[in-house]
Amino acid sequence: MNIDVAAAWMIRVFVYKSDRSEEWQILHPNAKDGKLYGDCEDFSLTLLYTIADGSKFKFWFYLVTFQAVMWHCKTDWGSHAQLWFRGKWIDNIDPTWRDKQPHSLSYPYPFPLVAYRMMTYKLSYIQSNILLVAICLIPLIPLVWSYIK
C-alpha cells in the first residue's frame, strides 16, 4: 500500500492508549467503533503491517531487510517509538511522513527484538523472561555440543 494512504488511514482510526505493560502488537479495529487503540509501538507496527498490505511475510521482510526499522527515541514526554521506512520517518505524535526524524534517537529496535516483544505480549512476565533467556542461550548450543562430544 502507498505509505501516504496507509498513514491517512491510521490518522483516521488510531486513538492513543497507554499500555504500561509494553504490549507490542498489530492492532485490529475495535468491533464497536472501528478504532485502533494502542501506543506508539502499536502505531508503528500496525502502520508497517498496513503498508505491507496485511501480509505478515511482507511485514517481516521489510524488517529483516532493513527497509523498515523501529527506533527508540526520547521526547519531551519520555521514551517513544517511531517508524523509519525507506528513508522516511513517522510516529503517532505527528503522523506525517518526514525526511528527517523529529526526536533525538537512542537506538534501533533490531527485528529479533521486535519479534520477541510481539511474541511475549500475551505471556506473563516470568514466561517472557524464561523465553528471553532461552533465546540468548541458543548461540551456545554448538559450544556445549562440542564440549559434550
pLDDT average, residue stretch 6-29? 91
pLDDT of residue 85: 97
pLDDT average, residue stretch 58-71? 96
How many whole angstroms separate alpha carbon 40 and alpha carbon 23? 11
**What share of the chain has pLDDT > 90, as a percent?**
59
How many whole angstroms separate alpha carbon 62 and alpha carbon 125? 29
Reading the block at residue 109, the C-alpha cell is 529496535
Give me the chain's average pLDDT, please. Answer: 88
Per-residue pLDDT for 28 more than 80?
yes
